[in-house]
Amino acid sequence: MTEISLSALPERVDVLVIGAGAAGLMCAAAAGQRGRSVLVLDHANKVGKKILMSGGGRCNFTNLYTSPENFYSDNPHFCKSALARYSQWDFIALVEKHGIAYHEKTLGQLFCDNKSRDIVDLLLAECRTAKAQIRTRCAISAVRAAEAGYRVETTMGTVVCESLVVATGGLSIPTMGATGFGYDIARQFGLDIVPTRAALVPFTQHKRQLDRQSSLPGTSLAVTASCAEGSFHEQMLFTHRGLSGPAILQISSHWREGQAVTFDLAPDRNLADWLPQRRQQSPESHLHSVLAEVWSKKLVQFFLLRAEITSRPLKQVTEAELQQIGDKLQRWKLVPAGSEGYRTAEVTLGGVNTAQVSSRTMECKTQAGLYFVGEVLDVTGWLGGFNFQWAWASAHAAGEVV
């Protein structure tokens, strides 16, 4: 399907959408299907780049259990209306209408069976039906309020529109076309930006720590990672630069520089109960060989060393010591050196302050005809398909009224 049309830009459209990502394309399709003339502009060389790279190439396009509790925002109520009016079931119905095969991987996360490209093709097909025009490689130089709308100056010419939809996403992965342009437009029209930070991002560790765990990169284990208000029971992965995996990405949204993250390294059992039982059953067994029933030998060696626990036959370990050992391994504290930042983060926390935006329509309360949809807003989902669901829902809410 052709994404780029080389014909000149129309001088005037009803709706101009900046950003041909998940939210921009969804909004364009919804508005076009209502009979509005729609133009989508993107400075990147192709549409939907983040969709293409998402979900390891299979796009985790929504989550069966999406609810407002899966989102962070200064105003946790803001996302409710849009999520209720365009739910995961609506997007699943669209996926099925296009005959896209999908499956649940885990925890309600729905992925394409084949490729993320299927979702981009779905959006382009919907835009085509809606007669929405799309131009890529189009840089925007200025946005000005004009009589009854906006005048947008671009490298391809000037367009006047009634409604302007900003769908420029967050700051993560600048090499994929991410910019802070949406925040600049918001500021230009007097909106505040909730401070932004990289989220759903791996942790880095200091060289000293990396040297100690040099045998572990590639090893993963189930943990419960907790920090501040957040707690996630998922897999953690040791990498050459630090820690990653779903548990780390999730907890990174709660973590702030300098804070410790607490890990329960054996979240599926209570070691303080289990170790005394194992001692009763096999008193001659060494602590390390009993713990090898929980983790790989490499991990046992590493955890015992880091927690300064000496392995010996269980019969030589007192009840109180077993309690302490259990406590150390189920309350393992670690202060990450930092995060990988926007270079690899999946999303951006913060963004356009929702206090100044209608939760029903996504229109700016103080600037008629100006809309913000998707990740550019201060609404950020957990890992697991929630961020796309927010893009679909917020974009649909605006698409129904622009």
Ligand X SMILES: Cc1cc2nc3c(=O)[nH]c(=O)nc-3n(C[C@H](O)[C@H](O)[C@H](O)COP(=O)(O)OP(=O)(O)OC[C@H]3O[C@@H](n4cnc5c(N)ncnc54)[C@H](O)[C@@H]3O)c2cc1C
Chain residues that interact with ligand X, rule: CB under 6 A = 18-24, 41-44, 49-50, 53-55, 59-60, 140, 167-169, 172-173, 177-179, 181, 346-347, 374-376, 385-388, 391
Nearest distance, CB of residue 223 and ligand X, angstroms:
21
Which is it for strands 261-264 and 220-227: parallel, antiparallel or unpaired?
A: antiparallel
Nearer to ligand X, 21 or 326 (CB): 21
Nearest distance, CB of residue 375 and ligand X, angstroms:
4
Nearest distance, CB of residue 94 and ligand X, angstroms:
15
- The three state secondary structure string of 204-264 is ECCHHHHHHCCCCCCCEEEEEEEECCEEEEEEEEECCCEEECHHHHHHHCCCCCCCCEEEE
Which position's Cβ is nearest ligand X?
A: 21
Nearer to ligand X, 21 or 267 (CB): 21
Nearer to ligand X, 36 or 43 (CB): 43
Both tokens of 398, joined, read: 């605006």
Judge whether 52 and 121 are in contact, CB under 8 Å: no
Contacts of 122 (CB under 8 A, 6+ apart): 94, 95, 98, 100
Nearer to ligand X, 167 or 317 (CB): 167
Pairwise CA distance, residues 25 & 36, whole Å: 14
Contacts of 276 (CB under 8 A, 6+ apart): 319, 322
CA dihedral 284, 287, 290, 293 (to 10 degrees): -170
Nearest distance, CB of residue 244 and ligand X, angstroms:
12
Judge whether 38 and 129 are in contact, CB under 8 Å: no
Judge whether 78 and 379 are in contact, CB under 8 Å: yes
Nearer to ligand X, 141 or 277 (CB): 141
Nearer to ligand X, 42 or 162 (CB): 42
Nearest distance, CB of residue 154 and ligand X, angstroms:
9
Nearer to ligand X, 71 or 303 (CB): 71
Residue 44 CB neighbours (<10 A):
18
Nearer to ligand X, 173 or 402 (CB): 173
Strand partners, 197: 349
Backbone angles phi, psi at 226, to 5 degrees: -130, 140
Nearest distance, CB of residue 93 and ligand X, angstroms:
18
Nearest distance, CB of residue 52 and ligand X, angstroms:
10
Nearest distance, CB of residue 176 and ligand X, angstroms:
7
